[in-house]
Amino acid sequence: MDLGANWTIVEVAAGVYHTCARLENGMARALKCWGRNDYGQLGLGDTDDRGDGEGEMGDSLPAVQLGTGRSAVALALGDGHHSCTLLDDASVKCWGANRRDMVWGDQDGEMGDGLSAVDLGPGRTVVQLALGVWYACALLDGGQLYAPRPSPSPGWFASA
């Protein structure tokens, strides 16, 4: 699969209708997603599907903007409508649709620094992520499970 010149795939995660890959090129890091994008689950600031037309992959496929100086270290994709990533600073960002029909990542300015990290409480960090159809769970440092219900909720996704 061509995700761009000189990029090496280090992790792939698949939802029902979309896929994301963490990429490395020396010290450079990137996250690219393709597939259906009805709810901004690709994190590209629009609802255009990617990978279903000529010239949409490789270097033409934009990287997901995670914030200034931030890169993904782990991925989790849900039922096809939401995506989350554990970032290099141990914070978590999520985008796409949640159970309450709130959507992030489908409009310009909603990703990168415009997307807040999930509020897990003071001093908490995530060790592992898992997403399901409408649920998201995180294993926290210290072994606690963070699994809000229903989720993803405004508390799980960044505040609007």
Task: Answer whether residue 101 is part of any domain.
Answer: yes
Q: How many residues does the chain have?
A: 160
- Measure CA 1 to chain center: 20
Provide the domain count of the chain. 1
Structure tokens at 3: 């995700």
Task: Answer whether residue 159 is part of any domain.
Answer: no
- Domain of 75 in residue numbering reads as 8-146
pTM of the model: 0.88
Task: Answer whether residue 2 is part of any domain.
Answer: no
For 98-126, letters b (16+ CB in 10 Å) and e give bbeebbbbbeeebbeeebebbebeeebeb
CA distance to 14, 33, 38, 145, per residue, from 27 (Å): 25, 20, 32, 32
Q: What is the pLDDT of residues 146-158, one digit of tens each?
A: 776 544 443 444 3
Q: What is the pLDDT of residues 38-89, one digit of tens each?
A: 999 999 999 999 999 999 999 999 999 999 999 999 999 987 688 999 999 9
